[in-house]
Amino acid sequence: MVWLIGKGLEAVFKATVGTANYASEERKAGSPVVPNARIENTYQSLIDADIDGYTLRGELGWGPIAAAGGWTRYSEERPPDELDSWFVEGLWRFGWSEHFRFDVAAGARGFERAFSTKGFQWGVSTGLYPVNYLGREGDARWAFFDSGQLTDLRGALRLTYPDFPYASLRAGYRYIGIGDQKLHGPEVGLALTW
């Protein structure tokens, strides 16, 4: 058992060192793998509801370590209503080539409305970039509140113009659920990466 734990820690250490080496020596400008900075803005149209969602997300880091935060506002027209959600998290990022990334996240998440609630959040993110202009990205987050567990799942295709790799269009789907409450629908946005 101790051997197995030791081998697991050795693999994580090697992956972390590989990520740091890639970030400092091989990473191309604008690559979505272990970015120094990333800003993303998305619009979501919810299915079966007269609700729109707007999200702004940011990430700052170097090599395997980063911090991220985001804010989402859900707006309903009839009756007029708004719900804000925010998160802050630390990221441990793995990416030792321009074609794949894997992030582990831990932090906090909250909701603001007529009430306010906060909880612990953790999750994972992946990215697969087979060619320099096309990729697939996914995020899974789970947050824990007194009222229950929240699940937030996102998947998107990322399209980048090769001559300007700093900006990408993202189109995908997002699902958020807690208990019997579910918000889901297609989303589209712009990501800027340095």
pLDDT for 129 equals 96
Residue 32 to residues 2, 53, 149, 164, Cα–Cα distance (Å): 36, 24, 30, 13
pLDDT for 50 equals 87
165-194 as b/e, with b when 16 or more CB fall inside 10 Å?
Answer: beebebebebebebeeeebbbebebebebe
pLDDT for 28 equals 83
Residue 68 and residue 55 in contact, taking contact as beta carbons nearer than 8 Å: no
Residue 90 and residue 16 in contact, taking contact as beta carbons nearer than 8 Å: no
Domain spans in the chain, listed from the N-terminal domain onward: 2-193
Of the CA atoms within 13 Å of residue 77, those in its CB half-sphere come to 6
pLDDT for 162 equals 86
pLDDT for 68 equals 99
Phi, psi (degrees; rounded to nearest 5) at 82: -140, 145
Residue 103 to residues 51, 76, 117, 127, Cα–Cα distance (Å): 30, 33, 26, 9
pLDDT for 27 equals 81
Beta-ladder partners of 186: 173
The mean pLDDT values, 10 residues at a time, for the chain of 194 residues are: 64 70 77 93 91 97 96 91 96 91 98 90 97 95 94 98 93 94 95 96
- Cis bond before residue 35 (omega within 30° of 0): no
pLDDT for 11 equals 64
Helix (H) or strand (E) holding 168: strand 167-178
- The CATH number given to 2-193 is 2.40.160.20
Q: Which of 186, 177, 69, 170 is nearest to 127 (CA)?
A: 170
DSSP classification of residue 73: E
pLDDT for 2 equals 67
pLDDT for 22 equals 72
Longest dimension (CA), the chain: 60
Q: Which of 83, 14, 90, 9 is nearest to 46 (CA)?
A: 83
